[in-house]
Structure 1
Amino acid sequence: MDLTDPTTVTTADLRSAYRAGELTPVDALEAVLHRIDAVDGVLNSIAYLNSSEAREQAEASATRWATGDQLGPLDGVPVSIKDSVASTGTPWRHGAAANRRVPDSTFDAPPAARLKEAGAIVFAKTTMPDFGMLASGVSSLYGIVRNPWNLSMSPGGSSAGAGASLAAGIGWAAVGSDIAGSVRLPAGHCGLVSLKPTQGRIPHLAPSTVRSAGPMARTVAEATELLSVLSGPDARDLFSLPGGAVRVEQCMPDLLNLPGLRVGVLTDMGYGPGLHPLVKRVVRAAADALSAAGASVEEMEALFDHNPYPALDRLFQVRARAEWESLSEAGRDQVLPEISEWSSRAVGITGAQHENDLGAVARSAAQVQQALLPYDMVLSPILPGLGHRAEMVGLDPTAPLAHCSFTCWHNQTGAPAATVPFGAEEGVPVGVQIVGRRFDDARVMQVAGWLERHRTISLAWPVIPVAADPLEPALFASEYQEA
């Protein structure tokens, strides 16, 4: 194990080095802070550096390791949290310049509280777009976040800074949040593992039926460790599920019974951007690997014979408009223009129309759930293409979340959905999404771990970000016609 640059080793290696006295949590934190100094000037992934408190946490962890009193797998591991996750004494800006002067948080949201209880070093908050309502990293407060695999490309969003920082070796894990794909999309863009858990599995504030906090990491094992810390009930979140945390040992791929696993392969939503052939090739390769190992793999038909997205888009518009209207007049003028313009279409929507949209989205979610019922797991793309340019708010600026077609409906059903990189095309990683039945988070992570173990690519992480190299337009899903 080469400890010359600690940020390049796994958490298992970190623990081994801590145990042997070859490294301390203070050393790990200082390596992360050095990496931030070296690369974040071009990435723009860090919203707030919590260096003073993080050093205190690192020193306390070092003492625990020296006395054999460590608190668990994340003790002494530097972990970041998204701007939108409240943590005592740190800013909460929600990506918006209008929130620049909001007082620092006076409480820990459940994810922050769990990390601190587990001895993790919460060293930073990561950047995100205004209100978390873009699947990209463009923000009125933070500017443009860039993907270290190719600085001309977006890291995805809304957990944009989390994705960019992890791929570049800044920290070992990150907490993001997901309302339409916001941990899975950055994971897809940046070659990471993530989980949008069963709704309620990971408690969060404010309570929501569709938005969930989720773990992000470079490996399945590290994402699983984070899941084991974050999951479990919290009385402050009225939707949090009863029962204990998801345990690491429940998620081991060796537990997977592939000959008994029924897998659906979904490559056509029936609406939205068409699937790029390079992405489809990676999904097909993952399906073939599962099939060769004994799983029963079946191609699925398109989920929809109509476009269900306009109703969901209007719900997102209403959500964004409500936050926009909560700001002062001066604050409203500071919101990203694309967000202001898109959400302005919510003006004039009546209560009855909103209720109709809620009903339409619920019916579409039920249709998705019904289509997935014959399968234990469904394999699909995360993104329709290889990504989009860093300065773009989405593939379609008039509907900035519309390219989330493969991810957004699993927020509405509440089902767990994980991502894992399985291929690489044109110099960027390509991931697949694994969707399970509600409450089956552990088996979803088992499948993710199995695919990680059986992929043929080896990811050389861009700890030195790759210079901007615009790809051919045809490689970006923004150029595609509707399927």
Structure 2
Amino acid sequence: MNLLDASATALLAGFRDGRCSPADYVAELIPHIHAWEPHINALYAYDEATLTTAAAEATQRWHNGTPMGALDGIPVTIKELIATRGVPIPQGTAVTELTPAREDAPPSARLREDHALIFAKTTCPDFGMMSSGVSTFHGLTRNPWKLDTNPGGSSSGAGAAAAAGLGPLHVGTDIGGSVRLPAAWCGLVGFKPTLGRIPIDPYYTGRCAGPMTRTVEDAALLMATLSRTDRRDATRLPPDSIDWMNCSLDLSRLRLGVMLDAGCGMDVDPEILATVETVAAQFERAGATLVPVAPVMTRAMLDGLDNFWRARQWKTLATLSEADRDRVFPMITQWAASGAELSAVDVVHGFEQTFAMRRTTEAAFDDVDAILSPTTPLYSFPAEYGHPSNDPERPFEHLGFTLPWNMGEQPALSINAGFSREGLPIGVQLIAPRFEDQRVLKLAHAFETWRGPIRCWPRPPAR
């Protein structure tokens, strides 16, 4: 078994039958991290000593036939914004006071309960507000597929770490595409579940935690752990006995909507459109009926929510001294400053666009069982950009395909469906009605089976 490219499910099978151990895997993982990190800068609070000790302890438990938890001995990273006990949460920005978190957030707590080895946090941009790997606290995170390109964000470090093989399991957060966008740009499976399926704290409109992995099966494996209930999230769903590892699905009666137009924002690259159409044809050959679907987003929706988010961000920035505001990534300050000039009516109108999106996204499933679309309108942008457009006045032009499903609360997943002429990943998105999380995973698994495994993962640059 090639341990560094093995999935978590394959590693667990190896632990179970004695072909490998957590200590074996970690012994290969550590030098791999050392080889990659100077180039991609994906990790924060990396704890090599604890990882080594915990792997040895897990190895002994497996040797004794007494593993503790479904993920015993599997290394995992967690996005910096998700609290882990004793580690500060800088929010990607140089102005945050570095106070250690007092307790694990729900995703971290569930992973510890299953004895996953949390060995690092992953980077994010300032305040998690950009689809980019730029950060005044962490520095610049790069895409392993091509180091002068951006991994996306705001789960930038998780995307880069997963693509580079810095462990098999990674957890990000997503309020407008922050799991799915880096998943698309880094060639991964990135799953945003129904709001409340994975309890999170702090919770907020549209904010979800979600798996970022190389395979659908590993995403399902993480869901079995992360979806257990936690009363700290008042938006959580009731406990459910979903068999997350059941990936079989009859496609013969499936009505699959195909959405090629986001309704606003950037034009979609022709290579991405062609890739979506190829994937749609594969589902059609498997028995699905294809149905064209109109956009669910409008310019008014996007601009309205932009206004609300400007005001919300300025609320945070206004508490800082002028000197500290100057330390925040300039594009954020420039963008948010106009939030101070908005009227209360403007801000309320902007927030109300979340409900407008909820109506249109719910109605989109009146005649279909699931929807296929691009994840992003472009497949790469420069590493140093704060957003794909790099325009502080129009920072969300790339969110047309991802943002509405956060506000509508539907489960949505990005999966790599091929590569551009430049050899960079192209993601497509699968979406299902609220609460039908497993349907999304099953559709993704069906496509992944037709596509086959990715065998060209990037390797560390030669020294």
Q: State the TM-score bracket (shorter-chain normalisation).
A: over 0.9
Task: Choose the corresponding residue for 1:341, options 334, 338, 356.
Answer: 334
The Cα shift of 1:35 comes to: 1.4
Residue 480 of structure 1 corresponds to none
Residue 393 of structure 1 corresponds to 386
Task: Choose the corresponding residue for 2:375, options 382, 385, 400.
Answer: 382
Residue 114 of structure 1 corresponds to 110
Residue 66 of structure 1 corresponds to 63
CA contact (8 A) 1:168 1:465 kept: no
Q: Deviations over 1:372-394 (max 9, x none)?
A: 33211000001101121111111
1:354 aligns with 2:347: yes
Residue 43 of structure 2 corresponds to 46
Structure 1: distance between partners of 2:314 and 2:53: 40
Equivalent residue of 2:157, what SS?
Answer: helix
Moved more, 419-428 or 17-26: 17-26
- Shift of the 233–119 alpha-carbon distance from structure 1 to 2, 3 Å rule, reads same
The Cα shift of 1:414 comes to: 0.4
Task: Choose the corresponding residue for 1:75, options 64, 72, 75.
Answer: 72
Task: Choose the corresponding residue for 1:167, options 117, 141, 163.
Answer: 163
Structure 1: distance between partners of 2:41 and 2:336: 26
Residue 151 of structure 1 corresponds to 147
Relative to the length of structure 2, the TM-score reads 0.95
Structure 1: distance between partners of 2:11 and 2:352: 49
Equivalent residue of 1:138, what SS?
Answer: coil
Give me the CA root mean square deviation: 1.8
The Cα shift of 1:328 comes to: 4.4
The Cα shift of 1:14 comes to: 1.4
Residue 88 of structure 2 corresponds to 91
CA contact (8 A) 1:150 1:465 kept: no
Residue 361 of structure 2 corresponds to 368
Structure 2: distance between partners of 1:465 and 1:369: 46
Task: Choose the corresponding residue for 1:454, options 447, 450, 458.
Answer: 450
| Equivalent position amino acid for 1:421 in 2 | N
Residue 249 of structure 1 corresponds to 245
- Shift of the 217–60 alpha-carbon distance from structure 1 to 2, 3 Å rule, reads same
- Shift of the 304–47 alpha-carbon distance from structure 1 to 2, 3 Å rule, reads closer
CA contact (8 A) 1:149 1:465 kept: no
1:223 aligns with 2:216: no
Equivalent residue of 1:98, what SS?
Answer: coil
Structure 1: distance between partners of 2:242 and 2:342: 41
Residue 273 of structure 1 corresponds to 266
Moved more, 132-141 or 319-328: 319-328
Equivalent residue of 1:249, what SS?
Answer: coil
The Cα shift of 1:11 comes to: 1.9
1:404 aligns with 2:403: no
1:9 aligns with 2:6: yes
- Shift of the 58–220 alpha-carbon distance from structure 1 to 2, 3 Å rule, reads same
CA contact (8 A) 1:80 1:124 kept: yes
CA contact (8 A) 2:194 2:437 kept: yes
Structure 1: which 4+ aligned runs deviate by more than 6 Å?
none
The Cα shift of 1:243 comes to: 1.6
The Cα shift of 1:337 comes to: 0.6
- Shift of the 237–343 alpha-carbon distance from structure 1 to 2, 3 Å rule, reads same
The Cα shift of 1:466 comes to: 9.6
Structure 2: distance between partners of 1:308 and 1:98: 31
The Cα shift of 1:327 comes to: 3.6
- Shift of the 224–456 alpha-carbon distance from structure 1 to 2, 3 Å rule, reads closer
Q: Deviations over 1:263-288 (max 9, x none)?
A: 10001022111111100111001100
Structure 1: distance between partners of 2:272 and 2:33: 31
CA contact (8 A) 1:131 1:323 kept: no
- Shift of the 361–68 alpha-carbon distance from structure 1 to 2, 3 Å rule, reads same
The Cα shift of 1:73 comes to: 3.6
The Cα shift of 1:305 comes to: 6.1
**Identical-pair percentage:** 37
| Equivalent position amino acid for 2:190 in 1 | S
The Cα shift of 1:316 comes to: 1.9
| Equivalent position amino acid for 2:152 in 1 | G
- Shift of the 352–302 alpha-carbon distance from structure 1 to 2, 3 Å rule, reads closer
Structure 2: distance between partners of 1:229 and 1:364: 30
Equivalent residue of 1:225, what SS?
Answer: helix
Relative to the length of structure 1, the TM-score reads 0.91
Q: Deviations over 1:113-161 (max 9, x none)?
A: 0111011000100110001100111111122211111111100100001
Residue 195 of structure 1 corresponds to 191
Q: Which runs of 5 or more residues in structure 1 are unaligned?
A: 468-483
CA contact (8 A) 1:423 1:457 kept: no
Structure 2: distance between partners of 1:458 and 1:26: 26
Task: Choose the corresponding residue for 1:323, options 295, 316, 319.
Answer: 316
The Cα shift of 1:236 comes to: 0.6
- Shift of the 145–246 alpha-carbon distance from structure 1 to 2, 3 Å rule, reads farther
Structure 2: distance between partners of 1:315 and 1:68: 54
